[in-house]
Amino acid sequence: MAGKDLRMAGILTPELLRRLEQFQLLAARRAKSSARGERRSRARGQSVEFADYRNYVVGDDLRYLDWNLFGRLDRLFLKLYEEERELPVRVFLDASESMMFGNPAKFDFARQVAAAVGYVALCGFDRVAVQVFPEPQPGPDAAAASLQAAIRGSLRAVRGRKSSMQYFANLNALRGGGPADLNAALQRGAMEARQAGVAIVLSDFLDPAGYEAGLTALVARGFQVNAIQILAPEELDPSTFGDLRLVDAETGSMQEVTFGKYRLAAYRETVARFVQRLLEFCKSRGIHFFSVSSGTSLDDLLLRQLRASEVWG
């Protein structure tokens, strides 16, 4: 892509995209998709990757006989090759009201990560599906709602590097809001997937209903799960003190509290415990877990943390 086109995407810089082109998503399990791509699978086909031999039977294609082996053993063997399959990559993108919070907004950071993951997958000829949740809330502007539904629909099946510009544009055009339904979204995604592959979950994981059931469903379905928790700088290190009226971004409920500076340490401990519980839950189920601030350098997460954890390489 030309630099001008990349800048038009408005979501990742040309320099970062050029570096991402060198990566490929690493799948611990072999791809099982029925569509051809560039991933090794257990299917036997006619790619250039040699897999094994088997005895020749009448009707086999003579082009795949190993004549060198016949000369040594005086027996006919057929060469088998490993079929290349695409890797299904499913991105779960939290667009709930709580993700709109922060400076920078958590949702904006999540969209950039989704763009980067999708671009690496598309460059590797893998299939990308982005599941945005929760479902958009009905509003007075029917045309805007219809447009959002169309954008979300187009993100559910993306293939080929040539699709990356439209992929970026659709991510940029997404609008969020509404209460979180993390467990329901992950469970629905696990049930809908025809083949398991790599799952990337981008959320703050602050759903009052929790995250356990959803993440467990993905693991049980056979996904290789990567959970990326995104919190705002203000959530990690608040700077507002005194008598406050707090409003829940998703339910609208209000609560008046007195938040003095002496309570800051207790608040930080509460956040740290929440993140630690999520980390331990993910670790116990073989899930790669990352917790970052929306103010984190995108290069640090993409080029250092994910690479070090062998999400891609």
What confidence tens digit (pLDDT) does each residue in 145-176 have? 889 999 999 999 999 889 999 999 999 999 99
Residue 136 confidence class, pLDDT cut points 50, 70, 90? confident
Residue ranges of E strands in the chain: 36-55, 77-85, 88-94, 127-133, 198-203, 224-231, 242-247, 254-259, 288-293
Could you tell me if 86 and 125 are in contact, meaning their C-beta atoms sit under 8 angstroms apart? yes
- Look at 46-50, 180-184, 280-284 and tell me which has the smallest mean pLDDT: 46-50
Q: Which long-range contacts (CB under 8 A, 24 or more apart) does 256-265 make?
A: 264/238
Distances (CA, A) of 250 to 37, 139, 147, 294, 296: 41, 16, 23, 19, 25
Burial of 245 (0-12, 13-18, 19+ CB in 10 A): exposed
**Per-chain mean pLDDT for the chain:** 83
Q: Other CB atoms closer than 10 Å to residue 187's CB: what's the count?
A: 19
How much is the pLDDT for 120? 93
pLDDT given for residue 223 in this prediction: 95
The CATH class that applies to domain 3-31+86-308 reads alpha beta
pLDDT for the residue 44: 42
Record the tokens describing residue 186, joined without a space: 């992950």
Give the model's pLDDT for residue 250. Answer: 60
For position 42, what pLDDT does the model report?
41
Domain ranges in the chain are 3-31+86-308, 38-85
Measure the N-to-C terminal CA separation of the chain; round to a whole number of Å.
21
Residue 152: what pLDDT? 96
Q: Determine the average pLDDT of the residues in 200-223.
A: 97
64-90 confidence digits (pLDDT tens): 788 888 888 888 887 766 545 678 999
Question: Could you tell me which residue, 138 or 118, shows the higher pLDDT?
Answer: 118
* pLDDT higher than threshold 90 for residue 189: yes
Could you tell me how many residues make up the chain? 313
pTM over 0.85: no
Residue 300 has pLDDT above 60, yes or no: yes
- Asked whether the predicted pLDDT for residue 102 surpasses 50, the reply is yes
Beta-ladder partners of 4: none
